[in-house]
Structures are given as C-alpha cells and as structure tokens.
Chain A
Amino acid sequence: MLFVRPARLSDLDALEQMARAARPVLHSLPHDRHALEARIALSEDSFRAEVDFPGEEFYLFVLEDATSGKMLGTSSIVAAAGYAEPFYVFRNDALIHASRELHVNRKIHALTMSHELTGKSRLAGFYLDPAVTGDASAHLLSRARMMYVAANRRRFTPEVFSLLLGVTDEAGTSPFWEAVGRKFFARDFAEVEKISGGRSRTFIAEVMPSYPLYVPLLPEAAQRVLGEPNAKSLLAYDIHLEEGFEPDRFVDIFDAGPVLTAQVDRSACVVSNETRIVRERTEAASDADPSSATAATTYLVANNRAGEFRCALAELPLAREEQAPLTSSVRAVLGAVAGDAVRCVPLHRASEDEAATAESQADLDGETAALRATHPGVRR
C-alpha cells in the first residue's frame, strides 16, 4: 500500500539518495546534504505555517510504501515560483498575418520571453523510483499535490503550473537548445541547466533573446520538439492533462519542454471532488467479491486529519451515497477513522469510467493520444 505524505527530516537519507538518482537534476532537491536538510525544514515549516497568501513556502512530499516503510518517490510544490526573481518561460503567441488583397491568412507562432508565471504556484521535483511499476503510483505521487492544493486554496495561486522535461536525444542533447540557447550561451545544455537552477536567474535576462522568436524560422528539428514532452515525461504529461492542465501556452526557455498551466478551479481535484464519509470495510469483502453489485473505480483519497496531509488510492463505489468504505490498511495510511470526511477524486475522468471495463484503460490511452494530436501545434 503506497501513500503520499509530507516529507520529514527523518526522510533526509532517502531524499538525498533520490536527489542524486534523479536525471536530470531536480532544482528543488539540492544534492548538498545541508541544503537538502534546509529544504526539508522549510517544507515542514510551510506545512505547519498559517498561510493567507502564497509566499516563500515550499511543500515537499514523499511516496512511502506502508508495508516496507521505504521511500519510493518525491514531489513538491513551490508556493510562488521565482518568489525573489522573475521566473522565465517562453510564451507561445499566435500572430495573424493576413492580407485581404492577396487572400492569404496565416497564424504564425512566436516565442516571447515572459515573466507571466512569476509568483504562481508551481508543481515541481517529481521523482519516482524506477523500480515502481504501474501508472497508478505515478498518478498518485503527481496528483497528490493537486489534492493538497484543492484542500488548501489559500496557500496557492488560483493558477498553477508545471514544467516538464523537453525532448533530448540519447546523448542528452536538446534540439531546441542547439537551435536557440546555444546561440546565445555558447555552452552545452547540461552545463547551463546545472547553473541556471530553476529559470529565475538574472543572467537569463542578460543572455536570452529580448525579441520574440518566430517559430517557422527555427530549424525543423527545433520546431518539432516545441512543447513536446521527453519520452521520460510522457506519463507525467498525460497525468497533467488528466488533472486538467493545458499545454501550449508556454514552453520552457531552454529545451522547449511543455509548461502546463491549470486554473485550480477547473482542475479535476476541485471539479470532480466528492467529499465522502469514511466507513469501515473488511479486506475480505474486497478480495472475495471484486465485481460486487455496485460498480467501483479507483479514487484518489486524501485526508487532512490533525493537519497531517495524506493521500492514497482506493477502490470506491461509484455511487456517492455509499460514502467511502475503506479497508483498515487504507484507513491506516490515511490516518482516518470512520466518520472522517475525506476528499475523493476519481483517478480517471467520468467519461472513461462509464466504459467501466478492461477497455477503459485503452480508451484512456486513445483519448490522451487524441488530446496530444489536437494540441494545437505550436509548430504550425
């Protein structure tokens, strides 16, 4: 049984290992043990603090296996990205170039350095142990953050965003960097990525383009990867779409990876939230009768009892009036007892759930593929 909870100082060893294992580096998780310790302390303070509006808080989560007590992953939220310095992204603008006389009309995309996301809450620092199998764990670790955001609106901005790794080849070379960043920096991507630490350093203003870049004028290879997630980030990309994030408005300034944005009001964790009351359910019942009369599906279930946030996956009946019958192991990881109100959000959207059979996963894949296909091509 996996669950997500806030990181503690006692997780330092495990987090240090994860920080070192993460490729590419996680800017939110420093390799230096003391710096990392300070980050965890900041996170502990942030979770405890009374917050009326987002500031310097940093929320660090870990994915724990309740059975073994092992840490299997981490994710985080930066309450206000670029709190002290501007946070840079490329805004993907569409410019209309039309001439009535010539009967031509074309949408031309241009990338403009933008500070627009400065101060917005940012999902960051996602790392999942490669040994963990199954997409559900990745969903849990990623979306637990939005479960926390949904339950703690004051702590975050109404719009949140997330930056995913862009496309690189086997050697770690980014075609977009080669076509753009290298011309300005005259350095390797990896080198600048290491020193830049999070898209909000002053040198970005000094070195990166001050005028918009016309997308059709960039080399084909660079255009092709615009807003495209790295193969390693495909699942994360799909998870964000499922949560209600939108691609295409912004891309990363270095590798053109997707920068997804979501209005918290319209995210799945808010829109599809069902607050249910915990009921006791025996393990035997679930094992014995998987296809019980009432159809069930996987939910993200979050509890905030006594200020300790917890999130896990559980099978819940589709019918809301059945409330939240949870087995003892789930109740244990959530720190929930019968009678508690918990936030329940279907892991996948209702439209897929109606299919409700083995094909549902296939439909889901089909839909996300379709979403990506319609994702208006930054490149056109």
Chain B
Amino acid sequence: MIVVRAVKTTDLDAVVALAQETGPGLTTFKPDPDALAARIARSKRTMEGQAAPHEAGYFFVMEDTATNDVAGVCGIETQVGLEQPFYNYRVSTVVHASQELGVWTRMSLLNISHDLTGYAEVCSLFLSPRYRAHGVGGLLSRSRFMFIAQFRDRFPERLCAELRGHFDADGTSPFWRAVGSHFYQIDFNAADYLSAHGRKSFLAELMPRYPVYADLLPEDARQVIGLTHRDTAPARKMLEAEGLRYQGHVDIFDAGPVLECHIDDLRTVRESVVVPVVIGEVDSVDPLASGAGPAQAPRERAPRSLVANTRLADFRVGFAPGGVEDGVMHLSADDAAALLVREGDPVRVLVTSHTQQSQKS
C-alpha cells in the first residue's frame, strides 16, 4: 500500500535522494541535507508541541510500504508570516469615473499585502516522476486535509495554497519580465530561492512600494495574473474540488494564484468521518459486491476511500477500497498493517469516487 505518513528522522537520506530527482527549476525542494534535516526536526518539534507558533509546520513523506520506497513529500505550515512577512499581491478594483465626461472605467490594482498572515498553508508537494502515472498525486495532496481534519485544533481558521504561475514555453514568466525583473534585479530562480528559504529582507528593500496598475502592464503580463502553470492545473482542480478558491491574491513573482478557504469548509473536514476498523476480506474487484443496486452503471468503478489512522506522530493515510458500511470501515489485513491500525481502532474515512482522481500532479 502507498501511504503518506509523518516524516521521521530516519527518512533524511531517502528525502535527500528524492530531492535529487527534482532537477533544476524547483527551488523549494533542493537536495540540501542540512535544510532538509532542519525541516524534519521542525516537523518533529511541531508534533511534540515544542515548536513556537512562527515555526510550526508539518512534513510528510509518501512511502510504498511494500518496498519502503520514499516517493513524495508534502507539508503544511501552521501559520505563515509570523516571522518573515508573507507577501502577496491583492488584486483590488478601482473605478475611475467622471460624470462630467461620462467616463466610467474599472481598473485592477496590485497591492502588496500581508492579508494571508496567520493562515495555514499547504505546500512543498513533490511527487517522484516515477510515480506520476499511479494516480497517487491526489493521495499526496489530500493527505494533508485528512491530517488537518483529524487535528483541527492544531490549525487556525483559514488555509491557503500558493500555485505556480504561468510560464511561457521558453520557461520564463511574463509577469516576472514585466514587473519583478525591474525591481529585484536578480533572476527569477534566485529570487524564488531566497524567498522560499526565509531570506525575504530583499523583498522589502526592492519590491514596488506603490500599488501597480495591472491594466497598464503589457498584455502578456496582464493575461497571466491569477493564471496557473500548465503543470499545476491538475493540482488546482483538486484543491478547488476540496473547496479552495482564488480570491484575488497572487504571487509577487509570477502572479500565480493563491487559493484560500475556511478550514471548516474543506470538503475533507466536512465529509470525513471517524469509525472503527473491521479487518477481514475486502472484495475490491467486483463493483456490485459492495451492496450497490442494479441501477449502478457497470463501468462505474468501485468506491474507494481515503483512510487515515488517528495518531499524531505515527499519522498514516492511504487509499483503501470500499467505504463506511454499517458504521465501520472494512480493511484488508495488509492495509490495516500499512496504516498501523488494529481491529476496533478508529480511522478517519473520506469516501471518494475513483474517477475523480487526477491522473497526475
């Protein structure tokens, strides 16, 4: 079974090895053993309640329990912007109107904002290219919502996710070309790297101090404000299915959208339930076996569920066939073992239809 679980100190080598698969470009997950060790230690402190509010954050790995292969990572920051400011542009509306002239124009203004300060953030998702065909991207991403649902008290009122913005075929961001490059005077990757590694003082020194009229920017830059990178579109769809929405905040470098929502409105928080486990034979092959009526179309796949244990430091979540029936969740012995649960233990279950899974991300 492929599970997502809380990271352990002993995962360091595997995580560093995984980071080597990122190649150039992705600046937030680099094979830097010191930085990754610090990240793992921070997650551990957070689990243990030893982390200060500004540094609290969780880090998870995806592992194939059959092979112990670590194939993905993801994270949650508990509250962003409490140490280094969390910068975004807020896209606001200004109307310029004159009755005398009969003029009425609506314009967009980009304002530097710290609006998302104190939000939780889902972040740092990376899935090995070796696993992208397996439909496990959804598991990796949604594992965090299962964790948040289970440990709701550990998180604030709202949540956000920053998505990479649009890049041209040549790998450059039109928004960066039109705006950031003039102010930051270093290349996009360098700026992104510094910012992702908490060295944000240059932002305050160099960023535009006045609002920027979006309508006055070149067409190609204007077009990409709030637009998602092609490769990130499936991730966006998935987050939107979870209930996150673009509400006018964009990244200051590439104008990629920030999706946000109230944590209590997350689909996983609203719809997942905690039930006891029953271990036994689970028929995952015949769709009609799980009590479905004859009206069900034959080509529809069997339901499957995200199933998580309810332990903190040993948190684990994976996909299992079936759903909650008669107030219990049936798990095969293998799956129960992979999730570290025994007969009668509580598990959190979110029924998902198989067809909803994104194929990649």
Interface centre among A101, A207, A210, A218 (most CB of B within 10 A): A207
A326 lies within 8 A of chain B by Cβ:
no
Contacts of A186 in B (CB 8 A): 103, 105
**CB-based nearest B residue for A205:** B98
A98 lies within 8 A of chain B by Cβ:
yes
| Contact status B209-A217, CB under 8 Å | no
Interface 9-mer from A104-112, A339-347, A369-377: A104-112
Distance, CA A319 to CA B209, complexed state (A)? 56
A209 lies within 8 A of chain B by Cβ:
yes
A183 lies within 8 A of chain B by Cβ:
yes
Distance, CA A180 to CA B96, complexed state (A)? 13
Q: 1/0 per residue B89-122: CB within 8 Å of A?
A: 0000010111011010101010000000000000
A198 lies within 8 A of chain B by Cβ:
no
Distance, CA A6 to CA B217, complexed state (A)? 47
**CB-based nearest B residue for A106:** B185
Known contacts A187-B103, A207-B97; A218 and B206 CB within 8 A of each other: no
| Contact status B202-A184, CB under 8 Å | no
Distance, CA A102 to CA B103, complexed state (A)? 45
Distance, CA A302 to CA B199, complexed state (A)? 66
Distance, CA A214 to CA B179, complexed state (A)? 9
Q: Which of A98, A108, A207 contacts B182 (CB 8 A)?
A: A108
Contacts of A98 in B (CB 8 A): 205-206
**CB-based nearest A residue for B217:** A217
A210 CB → nearest B CB, Å: 8
**CB-based nearest B residue for A180:** B216
Contacts of A214 in B (CB 8 A): 182, 208, 210, 212
Contacts of B105 in A (CB 8 A): 183-186, 207
B-side interface size class: 20 to 34
Q: Which of B103, B178, B199, B201 contacts A217 (CB 8 A)?
A: B178
Contacts of B209 in A (CB 8 A): 95
What is the size, in residues, of chain A's interface with B at 8 Å between Cβ atoms? Answer: 35
Distance, CA A192 to CA B56, complexed state (A)? 56
Distance, CA A55 to CA B182, complexed state (A)? 44
A122 CB → nearest B CB, Å: 23
A97 lies within 8 A of chain B by Cβ:
yes
Interface centre among A101, A186, A203, A214 (most CB of B within 10 A): A214
A196 CB → nearest B CB, Å: 9
Distance, CA A192 to CA B206, complexed state (A)? 36
Q: 1/0 per residue B185-212: CB within 8 Å of A?
A: 1100000000000010110011011111
Interface residues in B147-203 (C-beta closer than 8 Å to A) = 178-179, 182-186, 199, 201-202
Contacts of B205 in A (CB 8 A): 97-99
Known contacts A208-B96, A213-B216, A218-B216; A104 and B186 CB within 8 A of each other: yes
Interface SS majority for chain A: mixed
Interface centre among B179, B183, B201 (most CB of A within 10 A): B183
Interface residues in B117-160 (C-beta closer than 8 Å to A) = none
**CB-based nearest B residue for A209:** B213
B215 lies within 8 A of chain A by Cβ:
yes
| Contact status B213-A207, CB under 8 Å | no
B327 lies within 8 A of chain A by Cβ:
no
**CB-based nearest B residue for A215:** B182
Distance, CA A186 to CA B98, complexed state (A)? 12
Interface centre among A185, A216, A217 (most CB of B within 10 A): A217
**CB-based nearest A residue for B111:** A211
Contacts of A203 in B (CB 8 A): 98, 100-101, 103
| Contact status A212-B210, CB under 8 Å | yes
Interface residues in B56-90 (C-beta closer than 8 Å to A) = none
| Contact status A185-B212, CB under 8 Å | no
Contacts of A359 in B (CB 8 A): none
Distance, CA A19 to CA B101, complexed state (A)? 25
Contacts of A217 in B (CB 8 A): 178-179, 182, 212, 216-217
A52 lies within 8 A of chain B by Cβ:
no
Distance, CA A87 to CA B87, complexed state (A)? 37
A206 lies within 8 A of chain B by Cβ:
yes
14 A-B pairs whose Cβ atoms sit less than 8 Å apart in the complex: A97-B185, A104-B185, A110-B210, A180-B216, A184-B103, A195-B101, A206-B103, A207-B96, A208-B96, A212-B210, A214-B182, A214-B210, A217-B212, A219-B218
**Interface residues of B, Cβ cutoff 8 Å to A:** 94, 96-98, 100-101, 103, 105, 107, 109, 178-179, 182-186, 199, 201-202, 205-206, 208-213, 215-218
